[in-house]
Structure 1
Amino acid sequence: MKMMVRLLLLLALLPLQGFAREIPIQDFFKDPQFTSVALSPDGKHMAVNVPQADRTLLAIVRVADQAIVGKFDYGENRHFRQVFWANNTRLLFFVTFKTGRFDFETARGDLYAANFDGTGRMDIPNGNTYSVVDLTPEDPDTILVERSVETSFLFKLNVNNGRITTVANAPVEQGSFLVDHDRKVRFVAGAMNDGRNVTYRRDGDKWTLVHESERNGATYFPLGFDAQNQRVYMAKGEKGKPETIVLLDVDSRKETPVSSNGTVSPSGYLWSSDEKTLLGVWYEDGVPYWDWIAPEHPETKVYAGLAKAFPGKAVVFQRPSDDGRYLMMRVYSDTQPSEAYLFDRQTGQAQFLTASRDWIKPAEMSPMKPIVVKARDGLELHGYITIPKDSDGKKLPLIINPHGGPHGPRDDWGFNPEVQLFANRGYAVLQINYRGSGGYGNAFEGMGYRKWGTTMQDDLTDSVKWAIAQGIADPNRVCIYGASYGGYAALMSVVREPDLYRCTVGYVGVYDLDAQRDADFMGHESGRNYLKDVYPPTAAERMAQSPAFGVERIKAPILLVHGEKDVRVPIKNMHFLISQLAKVGKKPEDVIVEKKEAHGFRDLQNNVNLYTKMLAFFDKYIGPKAQTAAAQ
């Protein structure tokens, strides 16, 4: 009888979230109903990107009645991105190639033009090397595009026949041009293949260098001109600090401060419908927000009012109709996937268009809270903690989830299917933007160069200790899981901190730094130079900073996941790690390999199988079952 009483008391003490509705795994990983929406210049049609398993389709929808009037599909592994309306009937779109969930997308001769009803399709020659500079609304048959091949070129492209006319060239290997409102070339900025950042100003027929810095150094990038074409908005990051926005007088060289955050660089900009006034700057510091820098502009007042109409949510505005009447916006939060709305300034009405995941119920999701953690050297680290809904937030099993990349990407606030799945099963999830992450200035990103497995790893350790000190995490129930670089960090963490973690999951991870010499990006000079800058320089250091050469220290059970077709992180990484474990009498508890998958699983059933096994793995070592066993 006493045993039964103890068991009942124990069950009463288990976290309340264990009794919440268990949402099916497939609900988190089903393809969303849209990923982006682009409005036509007259506001009558919208182009909607629709993911479907191994591809992304493009649907053209008439706004008035939501009827589909055009549909495009370029086949397996092809994805529509950067859809532009050249005029009210003619579209341009890039079609990229991607095989794995965590892969970067690559272009393969894939800039196309077509009428929105599917007629008049054409492949733009050398389209994979173009990016759009300006849509030239005064000439609806042409746009300005740029191309970088050892030097940068600016072309005028006829959207009806694909013919190009050279406008300018510049001494930048990966450059981006800026033209003023008269379509006169004024600046070019970008990177050299060796990683240097450069900015040039056009003086007559010559280019004048106005900025140069190393890969992780200062930035000085032109954004756009004011209405008089005399002052240019510049994104300026002194000594690699987070960028601020200044307004530069081209003649006097005088700079006027416009906007700054201090913690993060801007991640978006909102221009007036005539593109002559910068209205707002988007910052993702904790919960994203707009800094309205032209508050008296009539369009700013509308945008600011719409942002306030969705409290607790982020509102991202797309390109409006040319007359400024129709405003397209995407609304989301940490618990709500994206929804698309169209606002009519003339009627003052907002029209709901579509939801990306209408089967997700926000009330069942868990909040994501921004946090600041001090690393052992005093550096401030920013991130997020997701606490399971309805729990008291104390002594929870914790999964720390380092992001991939590592240099450039970051964790941000918003709906994350993977995090929400873990939280639904009762786990707190910790995401930290360790040094080397993007968004916090080039200097912060540069702090991670050559520090893989050392200082970057210490940041993860310090954030876990923070969660324990706050009383959020149970120190005896912490696991680490990550994909790509995150998979590397998950294995390196249990090498460096063998007593901190109860289990680890490496998903398409890097386990031998030198094995990445066979990765797909090594076929490009810029990729080789990137590794030269960010990797430890000597073979001895690379071995010391590779998890595969520290397996004798590992105590935690291991789950490994890989796709056999992975070219971003070749599967030889995993095979080598397993062989190294065998040398010291160890082996992973489980290995999941999918023959048809690449850098991250895309197939829904494969994902259901993967997360079913992953959740069982976590449950065994830090979940309620593990807690019960420990208490008994």
Structure 2
Amino acid sequence: MTSTAANIPLIPRAHLFGNPERTSVHISPDGRFLSWLAPLNGVLNIWVAPVDDPTRARVVTNDTKRGIRMHGWTYEGQLFYQQDVDGNEDFHLYVVDVEAGTARNLTPFKGVTVHVERVSKIVRDRILVAMNQRDPKYFDLHTLDLATGELILVEQNTDFSGFITDRHYRTHFATRTASDGTLEVHRRNAEGAWTPWTHFAPEEAWTSGPRHLNADGTALFMFDSRGRDTAALTRIDLASGATGVVAAHPRVDLFGFILDPDTLEPVAYSVYVERPEYVALTTDIQRDLDFLNGKQLGDWSIGGRTEDQRLWVINAASDLRPATTYLYDREQQTLRTLFEHRPELAGAPLVPMQPVVIPSRDGLELISYLTRPAGANQPGPLVLLVHGGPWGRDGFGFDAEHQWLANRGYSVLSVNFRGSMGFGKTFVNAGDGEWGRRMDDDLLDAVAWAVDKGIADPSRVAIMGGSYGGYAVLAGMTRNPEAYACGVAIVGPSNLETLLASIPPYWESFRTQLIRAIGDPSTEAGLALLRERSPVHRADRIRRPLLIGQGANDPRVKRAESDQMADAMKANGIPVTYVLFPDEGHGFARPENNISFNAITEAFLERHLGGRAEPMREAEWNGSTAEILEGAQLLQLPARRAD
């Protein structure tokens, strides 16, 4: 660490990972109210205020456990939210009585998860929900009356992965994945039966498929990578079959759009190569883009709009500035600051993030993001931070983990390795069959790049990640036992056989794509591949310290995955530190748990990489539910208060 970095004040963990002061801001369709999430007694709840006076806010829910994460408005001005229990992902839907400040669970069904599919401005007294009550594997569509709780079946789903509906909640198209990975698109005919309409080859399934209908149902918008590498947005006239390309980009897939709320035709699209940007399709929206781009907001997006389109909620952030929410008046061309989500970080010693393109050994371009400690001018410790999915992507902007680790003296590198989404079908399909091999090679190539550029000391590199990123940690440390000084694996699969055998039932429609990526257990070759790429079977190769974090209720990567890895290491006499959270699922949602695990991680990295650490406070430890199943003797923890 340079002397400059050593003199930089430590940013408190609570400022980065504690509850934000406000977040998830929405506006009611009539433009009268703002709603947002903010703490009540340390737990995120919904607050509502008049749009012209946010200081008159009042809390309208009273959750005391995990906190609320998702909420929204109907066009009738009803407020709803979704919530699970301790991370089990069985989401229920609640409606809020704004005046009384009470909430009702409208889907109190055990072992059932509910998703909001659509909120229509045409059918205003009901919303469309998907629910797997009848069959845990598939989601039937129902309309739900938020006033009475009445559920009416719209579509009984036998084996489809999703539906395209109109604004009257009628189903027109459905998708399913065939056994060979082909994405089939079916259309409802005049007699009401589903008939095959088009299909996409297995290599196009990740990047292609129907998106939505226009308002009058005469045109279907489709993501399509047939005949090209990246997914374009196409518009299909359903009467004539005429197809035209609305927008395309040679380097990245198109997924983000601004739609005209009346016609549902795209008026702008976003391009995300190294940083996101909007491109206008109409002169009317160009005026808005020019105004907002001229305000130097950083990277911005629309968080909500009023029904008359006069007011937009704008969320903006940059690498050096956490999220800020604004209210944009399109008629007056004015922008009013509503909230800074983390005002306690104003003046904090944040450092810039740099997009970099790293070549892989076989010629792929890996768009990556580097953050260095303040004043870093020589090789030092590096944390390779691996994203989950793996069908996600790393991006530019304010990143609490990057800022935290850089503040502690580490360079941080996030890599969009092959298999990441958004960079075309060749890139995403290059990950098939390459878990723990070429996907791992990409990470090794990124570390080699950082060493070659004088950024990383090769003897002080850590690998850290969650979900697939946790798998990458385990795979990297078993495959390359001398490459990393230590690793931090969070909710990471260790045994691909048991991972496949224990995925949630409602992932059934996704199973074919997962098998294509990691191996088919029904075949001898596939089973051999699964076993070969499972880190648990090579735990005896690990030579460096490993920290494991797991949520006991994780429905995706079950606790057994971390248990198996810890047991295998113990059986081979290899020390491991294993932290379990009994009230968490796939990741740590409660700030107290997130902060305590990050405090443990800081101390772990300080010991093995030589950076800095903020001591864990007694209140941080007592506020969490962390259980140290293995390696307690390796940690210096405050005494836990007895209840």
TM-score of the pair, normalised by structure 1: 0.84
Structure 2 residue 70 is matched with structure 1 residue 81: yes
Query: Shift in Å at residue 20 of structure 1?
Result: 1.2
- Name the stretch that deviates more: 146-155 or 429-438: 146-155
Please, which of 460, 463, 466 is the counterpart of residue 443 of structure 2? 460
User: What pairs up with 1:479-498 in 2 under 5 angstroms?
Assistant: 479-498=462-481
The residue number in structure 1 matching 2:293 is 307
User: What pairs up with 1:54-133 in 2 under 5 angstroms?
Assistant: 56-66=44-54, 67-69=56-58, 71-74=60-63, 76-77=65-66, 79-87=68-76, 89-91=77-79, 93-97=80-84, 99-100=86-87, 106-108=89-91, 110-118=92-100, 123-124=105-106, 131-132=115-116
Q: Distance in 2 between matches of 1:561 and 1:503?
A: 14
Query: Shift in Å at residue 275 of structure 1?
Result: 4.3
User: 3-state SS of the aligned residue for 1:41?
Assistant: coil
Q: Distance in 1 between matches of 2:215 and 2:492?
A: 49
Gaps of 5+ in 1: 1-12, 626-632
The residue number in structure 2 matching 1:414 is 397
Please, which of 266, 276, 290 is the counterpart of residue 288 of structure 1? 276
Q: Distance in 1 between matches of 2:215 and 2:581?
A: 55
Gaps of 5+ in 2: 521-525, 613-643
Q: 1:460-490: per-residue Cα shift (whole Å, max 9, x none)?
A: 1111112222222222321212223222211
Please, which of 197, 208, 222 is the counterpart of residue 234 of structure 1? 222
Over 3 Å counting, the alpha-carbon distance change for 1:601 and 1:273 in structure 2 is: closer
- Name the stretch that deviates more: 165-174 or 20-29: 165-174
Query: Shift in Å at residue 37 of structure 1?
Result: 1.9
Q: Distance in 2 between matches of 1:33 and 1:189?
A: 41
Please, which of 206, 212, 234 is the counterpart of residue 246 of structure 1? 234
Query: Shift in Å at residue 125 of structure 1?
Result: 5.1
Query: Shift in Å at residue 455 of structure 1?
Result: 1.6
Q: Distance in 2 between matches of 1:74 and 1:50?
A: 11
User: 3-state SS of the aligned residue for 1:405?
Assistant: coil
The residue number in structure 2 matching 1:10 is none
CA contact (8 A) 2:518 2:529 kept: no
Structure 2 residue 371 is matched with structure 1 residue 386: yes
Structure 2 residue 606 is matched with structure 1 residue 623: no
User: 3-state SS of the aligned residue for 2:287?
Assistant: helix
User: 3-state SS of the aligned residue for 1:177?
Assistant: strand
The residue number in structure 2 matching 1:600 is 587
Over 3 Å counting, the alpha-carbon distance change for 1:52 and 1:492 in structure 2 is: farther
Q: Distance in 2 between matches of 1:61 and 1:496?
A: 54
User: What pairs up with 1:559-570 in 2 under 5 angstroms?
Assistant: 559-570=547-558
Q: Distance in 1 between matches of 2:598 and 2:16?
A: 10
CA contact (8 A) 1:522 1:528 kept: no
- Name the stretch that deviates more: 443-452 or 463-472: 443-452
Q: Percent identity?
A: 27
User: What pairs up with 1:452-601 in 2 under 5 angstroms?
Assistant: 452-516=435-499, 519=502, 521=504, 525-526=508-509, 529=512, 531-537=514-520, 538-588=526-576, 590-594=577-581, 596-601=583-588
CA contact (8 A) 1:54 1:76 kept: no
Over 3 Å counting, the alpha-carbon distance change for 1:241 and 1:129 in structure 2 is: farther
CA contact (8 A) 2:128 2:169 kept: no
The residue number in structure 2 matching 1:34 is 22
The residue number in structure 1 matching 2:184 is 198
Over 3 Å counting, the alpha-carbon distance change for 1:81 and 1:476 in structure 2 is: same
Please, which of 165, 171, 176 is the counterpart of residue 163 of structure 2? 176
Q: Distance in 2 between matches of 1:523 and 1:141?
A: 28
Over 3 Å counting, the alpha-carbon distance change for 1:157 and 1:618 in structure 2 is: closer
Structure 2 residue 342 is matched with structure 1 residue 360: no
Structure 2 residue 332 is matched with structure 1 residue 350: no
CA contact (8 A) 1:279 1:300 kept: no
CA contact (8 A) 2:60 2:102 kept: no
CA contact (8 A) 2:66 2:589 kept: no
Over 3 Å counting, the alpha-carbon distance change for 1:492 and 1:70 in structure 2 is: closer
2:406 alignment partner AA? A
User: 3-state SS of the aligned residue for 2:60?
Assistant: strand
Structure 2 residue 365 is matched with structure 1 residue 376: no
Over 3 Å counting, the alpha-carbon distance change for 1:229 and 1:308 in structure 2 is: farther
1:341 alignment partner AA? Y
User: 3-state SS of the aligned residue for 2:415?
Assistant: strand
Over 3 Å counting, the alpha-carbon distance change for 1:504 and 1:78 in structure 2 is: closer
Over 3 Å counting, the alpha-carbon distance change for 1:52 and 1:279 in structure 2 is: farther
CA contact (8 A) 2:29 2:73 kept: no
CA contact (8 A) 2:130 2:139 kept: yes
CA contact (8 A) 1:240 1:443 kept: no
TM-score of the pair, normalised by structure 2: 0.82
- Name the stretch that deviates more: 228-237 or 278-287: 228-237
CA contact (8 A) 1:565 1:597 kept: yes
Q: 1:411-457: per-residue Cα shift (whole Å, max 9, x none)?
A: 22222212211011121111112122233345533332332211211
Q: RMSD of aligned C-alpha atoms?
A: 3.4
Over 3 Å counting, the alpha-carbon distance change for 1:395 and 1:270 in structure 2 is: same
Query: Shift in Å at residue 371 of structure 1?
Result: 2.0
Q: 1:86-139: per-residue Cα shift (whole Å, max 9, x none)?
A: 32x323x24221535xxxx7244x233345324796544589666555544355
User: 3-state SS of the aligned residue for 1:459?
Assistant: helix
CA contact (8 A) 1:70 1:117 kept: no
Structure 2 residue 258 is matched with structure 1 residue 270: yes
Please, which of 14, 31, 34 is the counterpart of residue 43 of structure 1? 31
Query: Shift in Å at residue 329 of structure 1?
Result: 0.8
2:565 alignment partner AA? L
* Equivalent pairs, count: 598
User: What pairs up with 1:182-221 in 2 under 5 angstroms?
Assistant: 183=168, 185=170, 187-192=172-177, 196-206=182-192, 207-213=194-200, 216-218=203-205, 220-221=208-209
1:391 alignment partner AA? A
- Name the stretch that deviates more: 205-214 or 145-154: 145-154
The residue number in structure 1 matching 2:320 is 335
Over 3 Å counting, the alpha-carbon distance change for 1:463 and 1:323 in structure 2 is: same
Q: 1:132-184: per-residue Cα shift (whole Å, max 9, x none)?
A: 5554435533445566768876655544334455666787623222326xx49
Q: Distance in 2 between matches of 1:292 and 1:551?
A: 52
The residue number in structure 1 matching 2:125 is 141
1:335 alignment partner AA? L
Over 3 Å counting, the alpha-carbon distance change for 1:292 and 1:621 in structure 2 is: same
The residue number in structure 1 matching 2:248 is 260
User: 3-state SS of the aligned residue for 1:317?
Assistant: strand
2:232 alignment partner AA? T
- Name the stretch that deviates more: 579-588 or 259-268: 579-588
Q: 1:344-396: per-residue Cα shift (whole Å, max 9, x none)?
A: 2343322211122111136621222222222222222222111223333x413
Query: Shift in Å at residue 317 of structure 1?
Result: 0.8
Q: 1:267-326: per-residue Cα shift (whole Å, max 9, x none)?
A: 4221234344422112332111112122x12x4412431133125x11111332122211
Q: Distance in 2 between matches of 1:608 and 1:156?
A: 40
- Name the stretch that deviates more: 516-525 or 244-253: 516-525
The residue number in structure 2 matching 1:399 is 383
1:577 alignment partner AA? M
Over 3 Å counting, the alpha-carbon distance change for 1:249 and 1:577 in structure 2 is: closer
Q: Distance in 2 between matches of 1:270 and 1:435?
A: 28
User: 3-state SS of the aligned residue for 1:577?
Assistant: helix
Over 3 Å counting, the alpha-carbon distance change for 1:155 and 1:559 in structure 2 is: closer
CA contact (8 A) 1:244 1:260 kept: yes
CA contact (8 A) 1:178 1:222 kept: no
- Name the stretch that deviates more: 426-435 or 15-24: 15-24
The residue number in structure 1 matching 2:619 is none
